Structure 1
Amino acid sequence: MTSTLSAQVTGPVLAPYDEGYADEVAAWNRVATHTPDLVVGAASADDVAAAVRYARDHGLHVTVQGTGHGAEASVTSGLMITTKRLDTLTIDPATRTATIGAGQQWGNVVAAAAEHGLLPISGAASTVGVVGLLVGGGLGPLARSHGYASDYVESFTVVTGQGEVVEASGTDHADLYWALRGGKWGLGIVTEVRVRLVELTRLYAGSLMFEGAAIEPAFRAWVDYTATADDQVSTSAAIIRMPPFEQVPEPLRGRTLLTVRFAYPGDVDRGASLAAPLRAAAPVYLDGLGELPAGQIARIHNDPTEPGASQVYGLLLDPVDQDFATAFLAAFGPEAETPFVSAELRHLGGAAARDVEGGSAVAGRAGSFACSLVGVRPDFFDKVLPDAAYDWQEATARWVRADGNANLMGLPVTAERLATMWSEGANIRLGEVRWRYDPDGVFAKPA
């Protein structure tokens, strides 16, 4: 089987007994242990196309993995295509665009664009894969001022379920272009994408950290702040329990902290003025908020840069109030007993609430906040974390929206949740696009 497919592609074809198989299928999120029947390390779009045709002809479902950040469940059969070798990256300062291979991470794009005074609208973490973020929409530190990352996509190079390579844009395969900006699953394998960049070199951005008795007044002040926040200001608030490890900087080690992240893409003095109410809400333990080169935007969230096992549970919320703040602090505050190492709220709205001209499949634009809970203890994965996440959803049911966003939903990934993720009309339209470009159902569905 491997020899037949190997003759059709230039990248490696590996079965479970082959050397290098485990490294090829390894995900960034180590909670997933993949064991597909075959894995193809694609070296080109033609490799992807050949692998898809092979899978279709042999009755194998296809999964795709870029960086593996989104791996929440183990793939145990079928044919996996890895795209990490598709790592081309070209910045065109004249047109303010980037052409990016499917194997690239956002940090590399940010660094390359910064050399020309440009910035991609991307996610919070530098190590997240470009394509995985875009096809789910993609919220980042500039969500309220600039919207979703997928709002800036000009075109995709895509391999369909029939093994054809097509270009999807506003003029070619426009239905697929609409769907790929937020539709996430079962639409094809993106091998390259072209995105618009924005002219931005400096931000007023960073984070304010509070500890102990300052956490409650600071969090409550942030909740009030979001009700009238400037649309150019994007903030999030997270209560984080830092482990007592030597790798953690001493000021953070073993502490429970509230971190309020802030980003304003404008004048420093204006940014400082806009941030002043948050800074004055309670004694600040660590003040990391100030002028920031746009190329260092990942410092706002300071997400982990090394692989590890984690589970994430996500909800989309309507506007929150002080009653919600009370529930949040009771569940995750410094005195709470919780199995989660991080409980975060991201303020949405602003540009994120406005769809692009011609529309896109991004779901959840009407949400006011995204809530995510992160757990990292493997012994909690089977029961403790799911039960605690369920209890939290029940306790806050009056604020929880039925819809969601593919990149933010987290666990559990169920058919029931997926059915409510998009509107009825969007679900019907996505179904039609999936059937048109994958009539044989080659691409594996998440649930």
Structure 2
Amino acid sequence: MTSTLSAKVTGPVLAPYDEGYADEVSAFNLAATHTPQLVVGATSAADVAAAVRYAGDHGLHVSVQSTGHGAESSITSGLLITTKRLDRLTVDPATRTATIGAGQQWGAVVAAAAEHGLLPIAGAASTVGVVGLVTGGGLGPLARSHGVASDYVESFTVVTGAGEIVTASHTDHPDLFWALRGGKWGLGIVTEMVVRLVPLTELYAGTLFFDAADIEPALRAWVSYTESASDQVSTSAAIIRMPPFEAIPEALRGRTLLALRFAYPGAVDEGARLAAPLREAAPVYLDLLGELPAREIAKIHNDPAEPAASQYYGMLLDPIDQDFVGVLLSFFGPTVESPFVVAELRHLGGAAAVDVSGGSAVAGREGSFLLAMIGVRPDLFEKVLPDAAFDVREAVARWARADGNPNFMGLPMTAERLATMWTEGANTRLGEVRWRYDPDAVFTKPA
């Protein structure tokens, strides 16, 4: 089987018994252990197309992976196509666009754009793959001021379920273009995309840390702050239980802290004025908020850069209030034993709530907040974390929304939850597009 496919592609074709298979299928999220029947390390769109056609001819479902940040579950069958070798990256300062291969990560795009005084609107983590973020919408640290990452896509190069290479844009295959901006799954394999960049070199951004005793007043002040916050300000609040690891700075090591993340794409003086109510909310334990070069935007969230095992549970919320804070602290407060290391609230709205001209499939634009819960102990993955997440969902049900965003859905990834992720109209339209471009359901469904 491998020899037949190897004759059709340039990249490696590996079965479970082959040397290099384990490295090829490995995901950034080590909680997932992929064991597909075959893996193809694509080096071009032609490789992807040939692999998809081969899978269709042999009755194999196709999965795709670049970095594997979103690997919430293991791939245990079919053919996996890895795109990490599709690493083209060019920036055109005249048109303020970047052409980005599916194997690139956002940190590289940020660095390349910064050489021209430009910035992509991307996610919080520099190691996240470009395509996975965009096809789910792409909420990042500038969401309220600039919208989501998929709003900035000009075109996609896509391999369909029939193994055809097409361009999806405003004018070519516009139905597929609409779907790929937020529709996430089963639409094709993106091998390259062109995105618009914004002229931005400096931010007023960073993090204010509050020690355990000041978490409650600071968190309550932040929730009040969001009620009238400028649409130019994007913030999030995360209760973090820092492990006692040597790699963690001594000032943070082993502490339970509240991290208030702040990003304002404007002048320092105005940013400081806008951030003043948060600085005055409670004694600041560590002030890492100030002028920040846009090329260092990943420092706002400072997400881990090395692969590790984790479980993620997310939900979308309507406006929250002080009662919500009380409920949240009953699960995640500094004196509570919680199995989660992070409980984060992201303030949404602003530009993220406004769809692009012509529309997109981005889900969750009407949400006011995103609640995320992250656990990292594998011994808690099977029962403790799922049970704890269920209890939180029940407790905050009156603020919860039925819809969500696929990039932040997390576990459990069930058909029932997916059915409410998008509106009924969007679900119907996505189904029509999936059937049109993948009538034989070659691409693996996520549930």
Residue type at the aligned position of 1:265: P
Q: Which residue matches 2:80? A: 80
Q: Quote the Cα distance in structure 2 between the aligned partners of 1:318 and 1:336.
A: 25
Match of 1:390 in 2: 390
The alignment partner of 2:408 has SS state of: coil
Q: State the match for 1:418 in structure 2.
A: 418
Name the residue aligned to 1:152.
Answer: 152
Aligned to 2:377: 377
Question: What is the DSSP-based 3-state SS (H/G/I as helix, E as strand, rest coil) of the residue aligned with 2:407?
Answer: coil
What does 1:272-283 align with in structure 2 at a 5 Å threshold? 272-283=272-283
Partner of 2:31: 31
After TM superposition, the structure 1 stretch with the greater mean CA deviation from structure 2, 343-352 or 325-334, is 325-334
Give the aligned residue type for 1:394: E
Letter in 1 for 2:402: A
What are structure 2's unaligned runs of at least 5 residues? none
What amino acid does structure 1 have at the position aligned with 2:403? D
Residues of 2 paired with 1:216 and 1:406: CA distance?
30
Shift of 1:395: 0.3
Q: Which residue of 1 aligns with 2:285?
A: 285
Does residue 235 of the first structure (1) align with residue 235 of the second (2)?
Answer: yes
SS in structure 2 at match of 1:247? coil
Question: How far off is 1:357 after superposition?
Answer: 0.2
1:273-332 per-position Cα deviation (integer Å, ceiling 9, x unaligned): 000000000000000000000000000000000000000000000000000011111110
**Partners of 2:142 and 2:331 in 1: CA distance:** 28
Partner of 1:105: 105
Residues 360-407 of structure 1 deviation map (CA, whole Å, 9 limit, x = unaligned): 000000000000000000000000000000000000000000000010
Q: Secondary structure at the match of 2:222?
A: helix
Q: Please list the CA deviations of residues 154-193 of structure 1 after superposition, one character each: whole Å capped at 9, or x if unmatched.
A: 0000000000000000000000000000000000000000
Distance in 2 between residues matched to 1:217 and 1:308, nearest whole Å: 32
Task: Quote the Cα distance in structure 2 between the aligned partners of 1:198 and 1:336.
Answer: 43
Query: Superposed, which structure 2 residues align to 1:88-127 within 5 Å?
Result: 88-127=88-127
Residue in 1 aligned with 2:436? 436
Structure 1 unaligned regions, length at least 5? none
Aligned pairs (5 A) from 1:197-216: 197-216=197-216
Q: Over residues 126-174 of structure 1, what are the superposed CA-to-partner deviations in whole Å (9 max), with x where a residue is unaligned?
A: 0000000000000000000000000000000000000000000000000
Q: SS state of the match for residue 40, structure 1?
A: strand
Match of 1:399 in 2: 399
Q: In structure 1, how many angstroms separate the alpha carbons of the residues matched to 2:87 and 2:340?
A: 34
Q: Which amino acid aligns with 1:65?
A: Q
Pairwise CA distance, 1:244: 0.5
Match of 2:21 in 1: 21
Moved over 3 A (4+): none
Whichever residue aligns with residue 401 of structure 1, its letter is R
Equivalent residue runs for 1:355-366 within 5 Å: 355-366=355-366
Please show how residues 336-351 of structure 1 align to structure 2 within 5 Å.
336-351=336-351
CA distance in 1 between partners of 2:171 and 2:408 (Å): 29
Are residues 1:353 and 2:347 paired? Answer: no
What are the superposed Cα offsets for residues 99-152 of structure 1, whole Å, 9 maximum, x if unpaired? 000000000000000010000000000000000000000000000000000000
Counterpart-to-counterpart distance in 1, 2:330 and 2:444: 40
Distance 1:424 1:219 in 2: 35
Provide the residue aligned with 2:253 in structure 1. 253
Q: Secondary structure of the residue that 1:113 maps to in structure 2? A: helix
CA distance in 2, matches of 1:319, 1:228: 12
Letter in 2 for 1:243: P
Q: Which residue of 1 aligns with 2:186?
A: 186
Q: Sequence identity of aligned pairs in percent?
A: 80
Aligned residue in 2 for 1:175: 175
Alpha-carbon offset, residue 66 of structure 1:
0.5
SS of 1:214 mapped into structure 2: helix
AA in 1 matched with 2:129: G
Cα deviation per residue 1:48-69 (whole Å; 9 max; x = unaligned)?
0000000000000000000110
CA distance in 1 between counterparts of 2:331 and 2:254 reads: 19
Calculate the aligned-residue CA RMSD, in Å.
0.4
Aligned match of 1:164: 164
Q: What's 1:269 paired with? A: 269
Q: Deviations over 1:184-225 (max 9, x none)?
A: 000000000000000000000000000121111000000000
Q: Distance in 2 between matches of 1:53 and 1:196?
A: 32
Q: Secondary structure at the match of 1:398?
A: helix
Q: Distance in 2 between matches of 1:52 and 1:305?
A: 31
